[in-house]
């Protein structure tokens, strides 16, 4: 029972629930033009969500089976901060675009997970969202939500 109450198991369970819920939500949507399934807007997200759910399930099973040496939950405050940050982040993307909320999310979550070096936190918080914006918006032509201030990010 101790393995099922570990922080790792709870996080993996939450990841699995979110992936399955998002995957299930893609089936109730209707799109114009029947056509080929691969041409539907939900084709790529379903693949990604399916992989996400499969990996979360595999990691969850592994965490439960190898649970003898698993430490109990270290900080409920840390979990609360991260969950609140996720809720705010998911809602902020709609009106502030992808880049700015992602930077703020990283600036909140990285210290919550114990990464305290300000240079590493700042570099990661700007570099990763910046690379994703460059890749998707400017490289692949699959735009992420942009800021109301500029179309560049």
- Summarised one tens digit per residue, pLDDT across range 89-118 is 888 887 888 888 899 999 998 888 888 889
C-alpha 135/C-alpha 144 separation (Å) is: 10
pTM, 2 dp: 0.61
Decide if 89 contacts 101 (C-beta within 8 A): yes
What stretch of H or E contains 31? none
- CA 32 to chain CA centroid, Å, is 29
Tokens of 139: 């490289």
Domain ranges of the chain: 2-66, 76-139
Within a 10 A sphere around the Cβ of 67, how many other Cβ atoms? 16
What radius of gyration do the chain's Cα atoms show?
18
Task: Tell me the pLDDT tens digit for each residue of 29-82.
Answer: 665 555 555 556 666 777 888 888 999 899 888 888 886 555 666 777 888 888
Q: Give the confidence band of 1 by pLDDT, cuts at 50, 70, 90.
A: very low
Q: Angle at the Cα of 26 (from 4 to 85), degrees rounded to 5? A: 50
């Amino acid at each position: 029972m101790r393995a099922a109450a570990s922080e790792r198991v709870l996080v993996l369970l939450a990841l699995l629930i979110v992936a399955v819920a998002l995957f299930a939500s893609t089936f109730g949507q209707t799109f114009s033009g029947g056509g080929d399934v691969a041409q539907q807007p939900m084709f790529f997200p379903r693949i990604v969500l399916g992989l996400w759910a499969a990996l979360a399930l595999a990691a969850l099973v592994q965490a439960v089976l190898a649970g003898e040496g698993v430490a109990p939950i270290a900080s409920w405050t840390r979990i609360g901060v991260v969950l609140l940050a996720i809720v705010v982040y998911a809602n902020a993307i709609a009106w502030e675009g992808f880049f700015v909320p992602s930077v703020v999310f990283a600036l909140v979550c990285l210290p919550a997970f114990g990464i305290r070096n300000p240079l590493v936190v700042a570099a990661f918080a700007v570099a990763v969202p910046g690379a994703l914006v460059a890749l998707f918006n400017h490289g692949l032509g699959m735009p992420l939500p942009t800021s109301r201030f500029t179309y560049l990010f």
